[in-house]
Structure 1
């Protein structure tokens, strides 16, 4: 790896003092930005036309070793169907890559993947593309410090996964000279990514900056993924209370009180140190959304400053005083929450049905149902500020220290080909997945996903034999084993939430200018800390509800109006892309 020019290091060190991860990097359609297309056909292969083997592979539940090798060891994708409104590209003209190259790729650690360099997916991609990769991963829990040290040292790898960790976000990294502006290179060196992102207006709009630049490779899906987080109730709690699934805040209060009476000591597992207190689930009923949202006029507003905030805080303070919440909601980590969830104390949890299908149903045979986000009044429409916008997974950037930009782009571009879509989402053919009669890969009952030779649960194999969050075409509705496993109803719950909740107040992925980014980060950090302290203390009864008035005054003095104006300007630019 080479180093960033010394003249830039003071600038980077200054920026590091204002670290605030900005992950929403997209942009405005500029004059040189290609128009979105309703349908983008794959580019013609320049190398070879493959023999159609769909008759041998589709619907085959007992493939021969020769068939397995044909699928896993060649770029032949003829057996895969065209399963979406847009055809997934199949341009393999860059592979195998002619030059011998090894790319250094930095990525955050994953506790489920001890060594990315020995991951089966990476081994298969390396074989098919001819591009070798050396993954650099810091120890679990040390990602933030490792990233800071890497940037400040100026010693950069070829590719960075999650480049939005850069102070001010991905665009700031490009402006400061850490990452490469790929605008003029994408069409030639990333034909699959180019075709896929241009095949839908939303995908195009959320992967370009306000000034029309293409700065990285984003995870972009064939659809907007289902809502992933909400209210989940143990079926036995409904049976014991004899009550229906609650809808209004008053009905929730009645249900939680009854649940406590029948033996659930802290019926609602409410929150934790990683943010569940601000989920837009209960507070959303009062219009007190977690952070920014779009008001009825389509303007950016701040949830904690809304008129019914005191009513929300009074409600939660009362519920807390009456023992309806887990006592450690302000400090519990993930493991503590799951231990509480499977105990007889908990009746309801706010979490992902994918996660709880694993912890509740699969591991402890606890059935559960999903409830829509609460509403204040009967007849109100349940709502959420979560909307996928077809942006999913994660993103990647190529650094200015990359010695072979063409190879780096080719390696990333493979992820957006039909073969890359199959391998990353579904893993190896045979041991992990088969292909149905329509050409859709699926995890069979004997798959290593469900029957790991090492005895690991699905919550681990979801990463062990495939990549769950990556810069690629992520097909979560078909390839997330926690959704598609036999007997799982996680996907049914998520689909039900998505189809029955209003998302009109959701803010799309925004991009801030270099000047805005540092100011937005500083203000956002201060406002988040202020909100966390006041709201938590009021709910715990350490401050009276009327302390909210002082909170709002401090937020305004801190620069709330400026913060909102920055977001509004970014939204205005987004709408013009």
Structure 2
């Protein structure tokens, strides 16, 4: 990070950069209040020569369907920008503008990002090293120790010494937009078409992608992970097949059926049949509580208005149910304190019959590592015949986001480096890793992981739960192709994707709130109220479920929430939703 710059100097530099770039973009057609540019216009605003798109030799016939590529072919794929062998597998064509690469100057970008325990050193992560070679832009990743991300981010922001790029910029108090308003992040609105042509084309190729990546006022403030589709629901009820066999009961649907199943599971030997929670938030999942309409946080009612789940009429009924289940020993005893490792240890033990988790995660821990088969169940309902529901909806925004700071030494280089993730070559490398050792290309030009891929047969013997981060990027500001490139979903014999697809197709998502944003004035107040309400909910709900407070204590909880400013909190969200709907 930079120690020789003053904040004032940095902000002045950023202002000059923006002014210069805005002047250079005077012929662009897409302003903040104009309709989004077409793909053709977005491409024409770059310096790309007209013939460059056709400058690569078409090698599709030699690569598609080839299961034993030569070293020369591997080098061509991995060390050049040739993407002619890749097919167009989505309803919109992924752009291929490589005019910025190799970058014209020698530059090294400082990039701050949260640590990943599966990647000991991001500066030697395989995919990132390959991108560095292809773009000609060197990167120095700055990652705090695992578990210290929040403190490290706060310290970095308060110090006034910022890197060029921040991954997961929403950590800023009040979110990304507040970071722009406070002078920490750059407003990229007038720079995107010229310096991020691939991102511009991709985000404008679908209305949902466009709408979720622009602010209410039409500003572009960062690079978002954007999927080619709305990703499947990723979290729900998972039951060991052996538990169904031992109880002799079918997959439960209603709350009463779930109660009967859990009681029977306990009778046949599962000491703590439902792994209900942990320190990382599994208590509030919208799975069991959703059956009562007591959603975790905000949701849309039948009239499309924002409401707060914990304040709904059946909250006491939900809490009474969970208090009873806890008293009967149907929940894991450490649900309020268990960390991830403790939770997974419990999952594979003989005491657990049901997990509330991702089928991808449990495919790794249950099936791959311990040969435990499982099935998925739709979110419970109160009454037979009711439709299962969830507040999870992807809106085609996936992965994570990135912001360029006002202290970036080379804004154009920062944008070019991020923009690569939205090109066809970037889509391939970031999602599927290196050609040859990690992925191959099928007859239709679609990347895939062969059985002997490093993903599945790591030379160091690491499990897929680790290699999916080691040899590819699982969550990144890019075109995230989760359905096709998550190795836990596409592994031979895997049914985790089938479970997620079934959940998605059979659960109502009409109550899901889209990714709204708050104004600078709203953001700090919303964060303040949100933190207070979250703490209040956590304390009361946990104590009531554990029996430390009676169910009637909920009345005091609701009164305190209202006194705390619940109505104001909801009004902030409603105003933001109204603006989102007008984008």
Query: Quick check: TM above 0.5?
Result: yes
* Separation in structure 1 between the aligned mates of residue 310 and residue 117 of structure 2, nearest angstrom: 34
Give the structure 1 partner of residue 17 of structure 2.
Answer: none
- Residue 164 (structure 1) aligned with residue 170 (structure 2): yes
2:359 matches 1:361: no
Q: 1:375 aligns with which of 371, 378, 381?
A: 381
What's the counterpart of residue 545 of structure 1? 551
Contact 1:293/1:300 (8 A) holds in 2: yes
Deviation by residue 1:303-354 (Cα, 9 ceiling, x = unmatched): 0000000000000011111111111111111111111110110000100000
Counterpart check, 1:305 vs 2:311:
yes
Residues in 1 aligned to 2:41 and 2:73: alpha-carbon distance in whole angstroms: 30
Alpha-carbon separation, structure 2, partners of 1:8 and 1:565: 36
**Secondary structure, in 3 states, of the residue corresponding to 1:293?**
strand
Secondary structure at 1:387's aligned position in 2? coil
Q: CA deviation at 1:4?
A: 5.3
CA distance 1:195–1:7, change in 2 (3 Å): closer
> Aligned residue for 1:57?
63
1:237 and 2:230 are equivalent in the alignment: no
C-alpha separation in 2, matches of 1:138 and 1:322: 42
User: What is the TM-score with the length of structure 1 in the denominator?
Assistant: 0.95
Cα separation, partners in 2 of 1:191 and 1:60, compared to 1, 3 Å: same
Query: Per the alignment, do residues 239 and 472 of structure 1 end up closer, same or farther by CA in structure 2, a change over 3 Å counting?
Result: same
Instruction: Give how far 1:31 is off.
Output: 5.6
Q: 1:424 to 1:550 in 2, by over 3 A?
A: same
Q: How does 1:239-318 map to 2 (within 5 A)?
A: 239-318=245-324
Answer yes or no: is 1:32 the counterpart of 2:4: no
1:193 aligned to 2:199?
yes
Cross-structure match for 2:495: 489
Please give the alpha-carbon distance, in whole angstroms, between the structure 2 residues aligned to 1:8 and 1:309: 50
Cα distance, 1:272 vs structure 2: 1.1
CA distance in 2, matches of 1:178, 1:239: 57
| Residue aligning to 2:568 | 562
1:5 aligns with 2:7: yes
Count of equivalent residues: 558
CA distance in 2, matches of 1:39, 1:235: 53
Query: Post-superposition shift, 1:32?
Result: 2.3
- Report what 1:22 is aligned to: none
Instruction: Answer yes or no: is the 8 Å Cα contact 1:36–1:200 preserved in 2.
Output: no
The within-5 A match list for 1:417-428 is 417-428=423-434
The aligned counterpart of 2:88 is 82
Residue of 508, 513, 516 corresponding to 1:510: 516
Cα distance in 1 for residues equivalent to 2:462 and 2:42: 40
Measured against aligned partners, the alpha-carbon deviations of 1:106-125 in whole angstroms (never above 9, x if no partner) come to 11111111111111111111
The whole-number CA distance in structure 1 between the counterparts of 2:39 and 2:414 is 29
SS of 1:573 mapped into structure 2: helix
Matched position secondary structure for 2:84: coil
**Deviation sequence 1:52-104 (CA, Å, 0-9, x none):** 10000000000011111111111000000000010000000111111111111
- The SS at the match of 1:488 is coil
Which ranges of structure 1 fall in alignment gaps of 5 or more residues?
Answer: 10-28
Q: Which residue of 1 aligns with 2:220?
A: 214
Q: Counterpart of 1:400 in 2: which secondary structure? A: coil
> In the alignment, is the contact (CA less than 8 A) between 1:161 and 1:396 conserved in 2?
yes
SS at match of 2:238: strand
Backbone CA RMSD of aligned residues: 1.7
What SS does the aligned partner of 1:257 have?
helix
Superposition map of 1:74-223 within 5 A: 74-223=80-229
CA apart distance, 1:465: 0.3
In structure 1, C-alpha distance between the alignment counterparts of 2:436 and 2:73, rounded to whole Å: 9
- Alignment pair present for 1:526 and 2:532: yes
- Report the Cα offset of residue 49 of structure 1: 1.3
List gaps (5 residues or longer) in structure 2: 12-29
Q: What whole-Å deviation, never above 9, does each CA across 1:490-546 have from its counterpart, x for those lacking one? A: 000000000000000000001001110110001000100000011011111111111
Inter-partner Cα distance in structure 2 for 1:507 and 1:514: 20
Indicate if the aligned counterparts of 2:240 and 2:375 stay in contact, CA closer than 8 A.
Answer: yes
Alpha-carbon distance between aligned partners in 1 of 2:430 and 2:437, rounded to the nearest angstrom = 14
Contact preservation (8 Å) 2:42, 2:193: no
Q: How much has 1:39 moved relative to structure 2?
A: 9.9
Give the Å deviation of 1:35. 3.4
Task: Give the structure-2-normalised TM-score.
Answer: 0.94
- Asked if residue 472 in structure 1 is aligned to residue 478 in structure 2, the reply is yes
Q: Alpha-carbon deviation of 1:140? A: 1.1
What's the counterpart of residue 350 of structure 2? 344
CA distance in 1, matches of 2:83, 2:42: 15
Q: Conserved in 2, the CA contact under 8 Å of 1:36 and 1:199? A: no
1:357 and 1:38 map into 2 onto residues whose CA distance is 40
Shift of 1:3: 4.0
